[in-house]
Amino acid sequence: MRLKSILTLCLTAVIPTSGGAQDWQSLWESYVTGFMDNQVRVIDHDAGDRTTSEGQAYGMFFALVANDRSHFDGLLHWTEHNLAAGDLSANLPAWLWGHGKNNQWGVLDKNSASDADIWMAYTLLEAGKAWNEPRYTKIGSALAHNIAAEEVVQVPGLGMMVAPGPSGFQHGNSNRLNASYVPLQLILRLDQLIPDGPWGKVAANVPALVNDSAPRGFVSDWTEFKTDATLHAALTIGSYDAIRVYLWAGMLDNSVKDRDTLLKSLSGMANYLHTNAIPPAKVRPDGSIEDPKGPVGFSAALIPYAEALHDEQIQSQQMSRVKSEFKPQTGLFGAPPRYYDQNLALFGLGFSQHQFWFDSQGALKLKWKTD
């Protein structure tokens, strides 16, 4: 508790609430201004003004953390009507919406993305409790059941796991998986709320997936399993997907059984940051660095990771960098501010500022509910 208090004081010192970088609530408001339109869709300005189910799911989570029910409802409405054919209880949301070749705006890829689906189901279930709204609970429960039916697979050599989507990730005798798609705290909570689902079995396999995805202590974005139970080498570098694995692990409650195992699997990043102030943007499967300069969002994502390790050096370095990238003109990080950086910052700083946290069963705890 004393260390947590010290780190919180450090955060307050480097992210002042006036005359400089803003507090979390102000960051959320700046994000709404910079990345949402009047339809209440989250816009990625660096990718043709597209919208993804990930962006909508994260936006809903942050709206819940901010006690911003108006934007929560707007995000939910847009998602349901534009990504889920009008019924999120019956249909998994399409992952990609944008400007098509026919000069029309609409769904560009109907396949769903399970990372967004899990965050959306979890957030709806927690919103139902926080705001005492049965409609959210009903949709979240239905969405979780649809994820279980359409995206959970049995992977020989690993066990029950969430595939990245319903199609396109199983080819012949191999399954392609992504460790950043299964935040352990969310899976634990789904198991608690929907005990007849596959979530307990999935949760039990998350540490093995992370470990197998990080053979040199750095997580790869994608890992492939074969049906003969042998693990292929990680297929890709570790980069924009993988950074989330450090973030999710850092935000685990310290009494979660597999927390220390997960953090140990990720030791390559901590070792690297002891001699390099900026996290790498791209790491090869053998642990060598392809691109040494990760964006500011990577630093924000690693703050909870450093706190979980009780590593004040890394925490201070990453927080200092985040502070240096704050732009008062926009109230956001980076110039120009990037969609993904702001999402990682909202997660990392929100957790460090104790705007939200997770208990040992993955239940969401909210500052505005406890004040």
Strand partners, 154: 160
The CB-based long-range contact list for 25-29 (8 Å cut-off, 24+ gap) reads 25/66, 25/355, 26/331, 27/331, 27/332, 27/342, 27/345, 27/346, 27/349, 28/62, 28/63, 28/65, 28/66, 28/68, 28/346, 29/331
Q: Is 325 a catalytic residue?
A: no
Compute the Cα dihedral for 259, 264, 269, 274 and give only its sign: positive
Q: Is 371 a catalytic residue?
A: no
Alpha-carbon 140 to chain mean position: 18
Q: How many CB atoms neighbour CB 33 within 10 A?
A: 11
Please pick, among 23, 29, 44, 54, the residue that the annotation labels catalytic: 54
DSSP string, 101-156: TTS-EEEEE----HHHHHHHHHHHHHHHHHTT-HHHHHHHHHHHHHHHHHTEEEET
Distance in angstroms (rounded) separating the CA atoms of residues 169 and 112: 12
Please pick, among 68, 80, 115, 117, the residue that the annotation labels catalytic: 115
Catalytic residue positions?
54, 115
